[in-house]
C-alpha cells in the first residue's frame, strides 16, 4: 500500500512521462480478474508485461494497446489472428488503428475482446478509455498498466447497463469540464 502511495506522490511531482524499466515489467502482478476465466490470468499477466516491453523497446515508452481475444484457440484453429498491437503517442492510443485489433473489436459477434494498454503518466483510466469500453459491446475488459507496472482494470459483468453507463460517463465529463484545476 505504501508503495502505491509512494508511486502516486512521485507521479504528482513529475510533469513528464515515466520511462519503462525492466524492473517495472517484472513487477506486473498476476491479477484475479472478475468475470474472466481463471485460465486466462497468466495470459493476461504476460500480455500486460508485453505491452510494457513493446512500449519500452519500440515506442519510446509511449502508449501501446494490445487487443486480445478470449476465443484465441478457436481463432487459431480457423487460421485467424487473435492478437492486435497498436502503437500510440504519450497520451493516447487508438486500438482501432491496428487492422487485427479493428477486426477483433468490430467484426466479433460471440467473441470477448480484452484491450490492454499502458499509461506513461501513471494514471489509471482516462475518460477516453471509459468511453472506448462503453462504445464497443465486444470489449469486455480494459486493463491499464502504468509504466511502473501497476495494473487497473474495468470489466463489464452480466449487470452491465449501457444506458446507465452513458449517464455516469456524461456526469464525469461534465465534472471534468467544470474543474478549474487538475486536483478538482
According to the model, what pLDDT value does residue 126 have?
83
Is 15 domain-assigned?
A: yes
34 sits in the region (left: phi over 0; alpha: psi -120 to 50; else beta) called: beta
Q: Say what percent of the chain tops pLDDT 70.
A: 88
According to the model, what pLDDT value does residue 52 have?
94
Q: Say what percent of the chain tops pLDDT 90.
A: 43
Sign, CA dihedral 127-130-135-139, equals positive
Is 106 domain-assigned?
A: yes
Look at residue 49 and tell me whether its pLDDT is greater than 60: yes
Residue-wise pLDDT for 6-30, tens only, equals 444 444 444 578 999 999 999 999 9
According to the model, what pLDDT value does residue 169 have?
86
**CA 70, CA 132: separation in Å to the nearest integer?**
18
**Which residue range is the domain that position 132 belongs to?**
2-178
Is 183 domain-assigned?
A: no
Domain count, the chain: 1
DSSP string, 40-72: GHHHHHHHHHHHHHHHHHHSTT--EEEEEETTH
**CA 14, CA 106: separation in Å to the nearest integer?**
37
Report, in angstroms and rounded to the nearest whole number, the Rg of the chain calculated over CA atoms. 16
According to the model, what pLDDT value does residue 125 have?
83
Whole-model pTM? 0.82
Is 78 domain-assigned?
A: yes
According to the model, what pLDDT value does residue 91 have?
86
Among the ranges 77-81, 106-110, 115-119, which has the highest mean pLDDT value? 77-81
Is 184 domain-assigned?
A: no
According to the model, what pLDDT value does residue 5 have?
42
Look at residue 111 and tell me whether its pLDDT is greater than 70: no
Q: What is the CATH number of the domain that holds 51?
A: 3.40.140
Mean model confidence pLDDT for the chain:
85
Is 104 domain-assigned?
A: yes
According to the model, what pLDDT value does residue 182 have?
65
User: What number is the average pLDDT over the span 109-130?
Assistant: 77
Q: Which residue has the higher pLDDT, 179 or 47?
A: 47
According to the model, what pLDDT value does residue 110 have?
59
Strand extents, DSSP E, the chain: 64-69, 83-87, 113-119, 139-146, 151-155
Residue-wise pLDDT for 70-91, tens only, equals 888 888 888 988 899 999 998 8
Is 64 domain-assigned?
A: yes
Phi (first) and psi of residue 96, to 5 degrees? -75, -10
Is 126 domain-assigned?
A: yes
**CA 143, CA 43: separation in Å to the nearest integer?**
13
User: What number is the average pLDDT over the span 22-40?
Assistant: 95
Amino acid at each position: 500500500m505504501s508503495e502505491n502511495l509512494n508511486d502516486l506522490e512521485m507521479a504528482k511531482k513529475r510533469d513528464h512521462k515515466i520511462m519503462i524499466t525492466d524492473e517495472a515489467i517484472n513487477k506486473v502482478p498476476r491479477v484475479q480478474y472478475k468475470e474472466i476465466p481463471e485460465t486466462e490470468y497468466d495470459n493476461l499477466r504476460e500480455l500486460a508485461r508485453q505491452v510494457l516491453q513493446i512500449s519500452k523497446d519500440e515506442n519510446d515508452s509511449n502508449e501501446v494497446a494490445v487487443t486480445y481475444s478470449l476465443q484465441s484457440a478457436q481463432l487459431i484453429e480457423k487460421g485467424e489472428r487473435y492478437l492486435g498491437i497498436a502503437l500510440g503517442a504519450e497520451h493516447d492510443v487508438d486500438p482501432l488503428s491496428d487492422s487485427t485489433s479493428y477486426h477483433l473489436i468490430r467484426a466479433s459477434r460471440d467473441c470477448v475482446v480484452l484491450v490492454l494498454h499502458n499509461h506513461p503518466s501513471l494514471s489509471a483510466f482516462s475518460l477516453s478509455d471509459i468511453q472506448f469500453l462503453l462504445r464497443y459491446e465486444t470489449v469486455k475488459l480494459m486493463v491499464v498498466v502504468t509504466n511502473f507496472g501497476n495494473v487497473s482494470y474495468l470489466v463489464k459483468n452480466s449487470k452491465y447497463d449501457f444506458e446507465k453507463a452513458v449517464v455516469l460517463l456524461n456526469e464525469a465529463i461534465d465534472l471534468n469540464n467544470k474543474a478549474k484545476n487538475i486536483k478538482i
